[in-house]
Amino acid sequence: MKNVSILSLSFSAEADGPGLCEDGVLNLITEHVDGTEDIVILPETCLGEKINQLGDTFLSGLAELSRRNNMYTLIGLNKQITDTAHVNSAILFDRKGDIAFCYDKMYPYWSEFDRTDSAIIPGERTVFADTDFGRVSAAICFDANFPNLWQDIADLDVDLVLFSSAYSAGSQLSAHVKNHHYAIVTATQKPDFAVYDIDGTELTYNRHKHSQVLISRTHIDLDKVICHHNFNRDKICKMLREHPGKIELQHDYDREEWCVIRSISPEVNVRALCSQYGIETLRDYKRRSKEHMDSLRLNGKGY
């Protein structure tokens, strides 16, 4: 089992909320962390229109909070890159307070291009960080509408996507998970909070309509594998039979011919075990199938 403890702090970046106040954001984190968190995630541009520089007082304070509490922290803000340009970034600090990645929003929203004091520069690529609980990536708000970005994240073999946003995205995120099989956790300005499991199931949804700040805690199990029945069924049955009480078939999707296998013992890493039995993940199966079918099509042998 690989249960990851996540604290999501969702709040509006409006002037009368904590969003425009750097000390307010730092105090909000300090008030609610209890030392058990693996990740704290905050919403997109949670300081409003303010543009920050790497290494400034606020980001240094955030790095120190991450180090002191031995946790990862994802912050959404505008990051200056030149005197006249900025990017909309999701910055992940690691447990030591170092920057694990800076993801720059690849698809800024329409109004972001209308700003006159500083030009928005779209990001050019997806990113990831290898953590002690899995491979993590990020996406921001309007990114939810562009399937190629989510395919790029899948191609990085990511386990968990942190979605820092102004809006909820909802079933769009579930659709991306169904296609690509990573978990997604959100923090939004709505404010609301959602968790999607690797099969697209929405595990949690919270929203406070009359509160500016939504504090949400969850644990998500990343030690799961989703597989296609093709070429795997006999191997899966053998693995389940030979490891009773340590792994289980969490769900079997008859119509899709998929199944989700998870560890129920701290002694077992189900991904390593599936590899040992030669069981191919659904993501790898799709990737291998596409490569092979494309090759056959190009060589005139696909019909």
Q: Respond yes or no on whether the N-terminal peptide bond of residue 191 is cis (omega within 30° of 0).
A: yes
CB 33 within 8 A of CB 217: no
Closest CA to 106 of 152, 75, 154, 140: 140
70/191 Cα distance (integer angstroms): 26
Residue 300 pLDDT:
74
Burial class (CB in 10 A: 0-12, 13-18, 19+), 266: exposed
Q: Please state the rounded mean pLDDT for residues 201-223.
A: 91
Q: Where in the chain are the domains?
A: 3-221, 224-290
138/196 Cα distance (integer angstroms): 14
Percentage of the chain surpassing pLDDT 90? Answer: 91
Q: Please state the rounded mean pLDDT for residues 121-143.
A: 98
Domains 3-221 and 224-290 share a fold: no
CA distances 56 to 24, 79, 254, 262, 275, Å, are 16, 11, 53, 43, 44
Residue 219 pLDDT:
96
Residue 2 pLDDT:
76
Which CATH architecture is the domain 224-290 placed in?
2-Layer Sandwich (3.30)
pTM of the prediction? Answer: 0.95
CATH number of 3-221: 3.60.110.10
Tens of pLDDT, residues 28-53: 999 999 999 999 999 999 999 999 99
Q: Please state the rounded mean pLDDT for residues 62-67.
A: 98
More confident residue, 17 or 104: 104
Q: pLDDT-derived band of residue 212, with 50, 70 and 90 as boundaries?
A: confident
Q: pLDDT-derived band of residue 15, with 50, 70 and 90 as boundaries?
A: very low
Q: Which amino acid is at 249?
A: L
Is the pLDDT assigned to residue 14 strictly greater than 90? no
* DSSP track, 143-162: GGG-HHHHHHHHHTT-SEEE
Q: Which residues pair with 262 in a beta bridge?
A: 224, 248
